[in-house]
Amino acid sequence: MTERVLKGIMAPSKPFMYQLGLDCRTSRKSGVQLSFISQQISDFSRDILQNATSVFVCGIGDMTDFANVVEGLGLSPAAGRIVQTSLNGPTSSGAPFLAFMRMKDGVYEQHLVNTLGPIELWAFSTSSKDAELRHRLYEKLGPIRARQRLAAIFPGGTAEDELEKRTQSMIETGLSKDTADSSVMDEIANEIINCKGIAAHLRGQGNMENDVVTYYDWAKLLPAGVKAAPQSILMNLYDEGLEPNDVTADTIRMRQAPKRPVNRPHADLIRAGAE
């Protein structure tokens, strides 16, 4: 391993990193599995890298990171080319990564793609614009329904293309970029909330549409005596289409009551015997 990589990756460990390295060497004897995540391989000490049985490389920042990954893990030239050219981040087709695994019968390098559905893509998206749009919809629709609508409208897991297209159109009319960004975010969020514009095709799809009051607005209309009921029960009642005024304390109690066995005498005998 070159001196350059030694300086980048194998710098002397602080006490905490030393302890982690010691744990990596001894934890398997106690049946303990350790996992580490970082954006740079240089965050890991020699002990951690040498004792890692599985390393998953999702991407690199620059050529220094590339050299550190290749030389730090001892990748083959073929695996190095994959790291340099094929790990370009998640898309609608999935998230590519390189799996580097040390097994008893040798070292394995695999170029794999982790595929996710559109709802999962929206749940895990870290793009600042997508996260802001998702947060706005969470506040108005709740997390579940917000992700359902986002996935139906943008199955690729991002709205950035639509946001950028509309922003550029507004900038061409003379608006500043900041004003255009804010206006477009408001516009798309309102369209999704109200099932119009880009979300018009969601109308008529049950609770996916806004003709049905959103859960959070529905919950505000509940009688005071049932508002403290478990949210899971209330959401089920909402999904079934019950009007807020029809939700009573008796309704909640019926949902909370455990189901009795069909063959009750036999079940009671078994239960009594167990006691």
Per DSSP, the residues of 81-138 read: HHHHHT----BTTBEEEEEEEEETTEEEEEEEEE---HHHHHHH---HHHHHHHHHHH
Convert the pLDDT of each residue in 202-223 to its tens digit.
Answer: 876 554 544 445 677 778 889 9
Nearest alpha carbon to residue 246 among 222, 217, 224: 222
pLDDT: which is higher, 10 or 44: 44
What pLDDT is recorded for position 262? Answer: 44
Question: Strand 54-57 and strand 95-103: pairing?
Answer: antiparallel
What pLDDT is recorded for position 184? Answer: 94
Q: Lowest mean pLDDT: which of 51-60, 135-144, 247-256, 264-273?
A: 264-273
Q: Per-residue pLDDT for 193 more than 60?
A: yes
pLDDT: which is higher, 77 or 29: 77
Convert the pLDDT of each residue in 91-131 to its tens digit.
Answer: 767 889 999 999 889 999 999 998 878 888 899 888 899 99
Mean per-residue pLDDT of the chain: 80
What pLDDT is recorded for position 154? Answer: 92
pLDDT: which is higher, 6 or 79: 79
Whole-number Å distance between alpha carbons of 19 and 47: 10
Does residue 150 contact residue 134 with C-beta atoms inside 8 Å? yes
Nearest alpha carbon to residue 190 among 218, 158, 149, 155: 149
What pLDDT is recorded for position 12? Answer: 46
Residues in CB range of 64: below 8 A, 6 or more apart: 8
Q: What is the pTM of this model?
A: 0.48
Q: Per-residue pLDDT for 32 more than 90?
A: no
pLDDT: which is higher, 163 or 124: 163
Nearest alpha carbon to residue 100 among 54, 45, 32: 54
Q: Per-residue pLDDT for 185 more than 70?
A: yes
**Domain extent listing, the chain:** 3-114, 119-212, 220-275
Residue 229: Cβ within 10 Å count: 19
Q: Per-residue pLDDT for 82 more than 50?
A: yes
Q: How confident is the model at residue 135 (pLDDT cuts 50, 70, 90)?
A: very high
What pLDDT is recorded for position 20? Answer: 82
What pLDDT is recorded for position 23? Answer: 84
Which residue's entry shows tokens 């994959």?
82
Radius of gyration of the chain (CA): 27
Residue 34: Cβ within 10 Å count: 12
